[in-house]
Structure 1
Amino acid sequence: MPTWAIVVAVGCGVIGLLLLSVRLVQQYQRGVVFRFGRVLDDVREPGLRFIIPLADRMVKVTMQTVVMPVPPQGAITHDNVTLTVDAVVYFRVVDPIRALVNVRNYTNAVLQVAQTSLRSVIGRADLDILLSDRERINAELKAAIDAPTEKPWGVLIERVEVKDVALPDGMKRSMSRQAEAERERRARVIAADGEYQASKRLADAARAMAATPGAYQLRLLQTVVDVAAEKNSTLVMPFPVELLRFFDQLSGRDRETAAPPAVPGDVIVNGNQPRAEAPR
């Protein structure tokens, strides 16, 4: 065998060994090395890394945040309302060795825990809290999912969000009627409060005009101007109250003057005037 052939064969072998021993770890990855099936404590950082061919096996773990949707789950709330809820989970690996060794397919494991925790948390909450206090539900979901995943599996749950709450049609109609009744109640309260305030203002205005008799006439003239501005064919003039009082006083004086004068010497008893008798 020629010498150059041996050199070429040796060179190809060396190149092959180098290719088998060189691994490229990306910035968002970490490399976990298994030597003869036993995991090494030294986690390989990003860059060009070397392993022992045929003895070492490197598994790359992504350290990026994973956004995992949770499929819609049927659940029953604490006040016995059946609904469908879906969510989204944000998590990332903080310990790549535990994520590979302690659990198989940690992504699927986190999904299963999220589904069961979602039904459990919804079952402990009322419908009003679920619809109005999403932050509380999200915090409870995060705590429920993070407890069995962070320390045993090396997975950190960063955030959990409830996306949508699907209610039955009957419950939607009931909530719509309730909201409509609440809005009508508020409208009636506001209208009643406005009427009460207006009546107080009218009473104050009446007392102020009563102190000034000429204010009634000014108000009458203002009313006439407002009515005339409408260009109506018929104009109704309100009768002044002061004029009625004047006629009432005048008629009272006429009655007093029309009464016959009493004869001297007569005695009035119980409003009756007896006749005077002639002396005997």
Structure 2
Amino acid sequence: MSDRRQRKQEYESEPCSFAHFQVVKEYERAVIFRLGRLLPGGARGPGIFFVNPCTDTYRKVDLRVVSFDVPPQETSLDEATDPWGVKVERVEVKDVRLPVQLQRAMAAEAEATREARAKAIAADGEQRASKALKEAADIIIQSPAALQLRYLQTLTTISAERNSTIIFPFPVDLLSYLLEGKKAAGSRSVKPSSNASMAAAYSSAPPTSPTTTYFSTASTFSAPVTHSHSQAAVSPSTSPGLSL
């Protein structure tokens, strides 16, 4: 506080002054000294009070909160202000200087928190979109006309982009029919158990004449063999699927 301001707030009465009554404002108090000692009863005010101009002097004290900048210091505020009778009500931090490593760690933590929050929001939006698409697909499946309109809308969108690709919508129902046809064709198979049993019975029976046995996927055929010098002739067979 400057000396000029202190002179304005401080008032010392002269010994022979005629100002016996003084007034202090609501936010001020008057401390009276009589012959250099503090007058009993504490500070006077607010309002009017009497001062003996011959023996008393007084000083006005402003009780309003004063804001001012404190120079940088490395000490606790309470320890620094208690000896002076000053009570610190509020301290506003304007700048904080942190080590570089701590700044990087805090920045990485904040970035990870933002990324996790963004992923959670994206996952929530994707889940809601999936539910909406499922409901729309269920509605379209129930109405074939709606599916055809969807095809036409897709074609209109593609043609508006001036693409050289031509797309023809293929009904999904035909795929189900084709799959069912393949399953039915695959289920038609011949059981070889009858052929195996007939072959076993033939091999166990005593040979009567030399014969040649032919097997096919449908049945088993036997034909007699006639020997002539060095060639063997097989009787012709009209059964389909036979091979020599």
TM-score normalised according to structure 2 size: 0.53
Contact 1:33 1:56 in 2 (8 A): yes
**Over aligned residues, Cα RMSD in angstroms?**
4.2
Aligned residues between the structures = 180
Is residue 164 of structure 1 aligned with residue 94 of structure 2?
yes
Query: Greater relative contact order (Cα 8 A, min sep 6): structure 1 or 2?
Result: 1
1:64 is matched with: 64
Residues 167 and 174 of structure 1: CA distance in aligned 2, closer, same or farther (over 3 Å): farther
Contact 2:30 2:60 in 1 (8 A): yes
2:131 is matched with: 200
* Structure 1 residue corresponding to 2:163, chosen from 232, 238, 246: 232
> Aligned partners of 1:71 and 1:115: how far apart in 2?
15
> Aligned partners of 1:248 and 1:68: how far apart in 2?
86
Contact 1:70 1:114 in 2 (8 A): no
Secondary structure, aligned partner of 1:162: coil
2:142 is matched with: 211
2:17 is matched with: 19
Contact 1:30 1:62 in 2 (8 A): yes
Q: Which amino acid aligns with 1:222?
A: Q
Which consecutive residues of structure 2, in runs of 5 or more, have no partner in the other structure? Answer: 1-13, 189-193, 196-216, 222-244
Residues 175 and 231 of structure 1: CA distance in aligned 2, closer, same or farther (over 3 Å): same
Alpha-carbon deviation of 1:35?
Answer: 2.0
Percent of matched pairs sharing the same residue: 34
Is residue 29 of structure 1 aligned with residue 28 of structure 2?
yes
> Aligned partners of 1:196 and 1:248: how far apart in 2?
32
Is residue 114 of structure 1 aligned with residue 112 of structure 2?
no
CA deviations 1:89-138 (Å, max 9, x no partner) are xxxxxxxxxxxxxxxxxxxxxxxx73548xxxxxxxxxxxxxxxxxxxxx
Residues 74 and 218 of structure 1: CA distance in aligned 2, closer, same or farther (over 3 Å): farther
- Compare the two structures and name the one with the higher helix fraction: 1
> Aligned partners of 1:39 and 1:248: how far apart in 2?
110
CA deviations 1:160-196 (Å, max 9, x no partner) are 1332341325122322222122111111122222222
Rg larger in structure: 2
Alpha-carbon deviation of 1:205?
Answer: 2.9
Contact 1:34 1:57 in 2 (8 A): yes
Runs of 4+ in 1 over 6 A off after TM superposition: 247-253
> Aligned partners of 1:63 and 1:193: how far apart in 2?
57
> Aligned partners of 1:251 and 1:30: how far apart in 2?
106
2:51 is matched with: 50
Alpha-carbon deviation of 1:20?
Answer: 7.0
Q: How does 1:84-163 map to 2 (within 5 A)?
A: 114-116=77-79, 159-163=89-93
Q: Which amino acid aligns with 2:51?
A: F
1:189 is matched with: 120
1:40 is matched with: 39
Residues 248 and 217 of structure 1: CA distance in aligned 2, closer, same or farther (over 3 Å): farther
Which consecutive residues of structure 1, in runs of 5 or more, have no partner in the other structure? Answer: 1-15, 76-112, 118-144, 260-268
